[in-house]
Every structure is written in structure tokens, then in C-alpha cells.
Amino acid sequence: MTTVAVRHHVADFDTWKAGYDEHGAVRKDLGCTGDMLLRDAADPNDVLILTFWPTAADAQAFTTDPRLPEAMKKAGVVSEPRIEIYEETDS
């Protein structure tokens, strides 16, 4: 399994969340198998999103999809996103 971690600051969490949910169909079409949303305890508009993918190629396709920056802008992302790809290892 591969995980994509995206961290960014949003103008308003509720507005961003609606945009994130709307973009869910795109993630699913690209192969996303699940996600986890986390908010900074000190700043609820600082968001960390973990999305889960079957392969690194699927994850890469998501991170380079031209619809992603458009969805982020529309949802109110106000900082440069930090996007990282991690592969699961044996414990």
C-alpha cells in the first residue's frame, strides 16, 4: 500500500471540507482506497490529509492529476501544499 500525505493551510475548514468531499469521486476513480483527515490542534485550518493507494503509480497519478490544484484552489487552500508519497514497509 502507498500513502500520500498532503499538508496545507485552508481559509476555512468547513468550506475546504466541502470541496474535499466533492473531489472524492476523482480520488476514487484514480484508485484511492481510503483516507484520513487530521487538523492541527492549535490551528484547525492547518490540515493533514492521508490518502491510501494500491500502488505508488496510482499515488503518483493522483499527485500529478491536473484536477488536484484546481480542486485545492476552489476549496480555499491558501498555502503551498506539501505533498509526499510513502510506501508501506514490513514492521
Question: Strand 46-53 to strand 82-87: parallel, antiparallel, or no bridges (unpaired)?
Answer: unpaired
**Res 90: pLDDT:** 85
Beta partners for residue 53, in sequence order: 2
pTM score, whole prediction: 0.92
Instruction: Starting at the earlier edge strand, list the strands of the sheet with 2-9.
Output: 34-39, 46-53, 2-9, 82-87
CA 29 to chain centre: 14
Q: At 88, give phi and psi (nearest 5°).
A: -65, 140
Q: At 73, give phi and psi (nearest 5°).
A: -60, -45
Question: Which amino acid belongs to residue 3?
Answer: T
Residue ranges covered by each domain of the chain: 2-87
Instruction: Note the CATH architecture for domain 2-87.
Output: 2-Layer Sandwich (3.30)
For every one of its 91 residues, what pLDDT tens digit does the chain have, with 9 covering 90 and above? 999 999 999 999 999 999 999 999 999 999 999 999 999 999 999 999 999 999 999 999 999 999 999 999 999 999 999 999 999 998 7
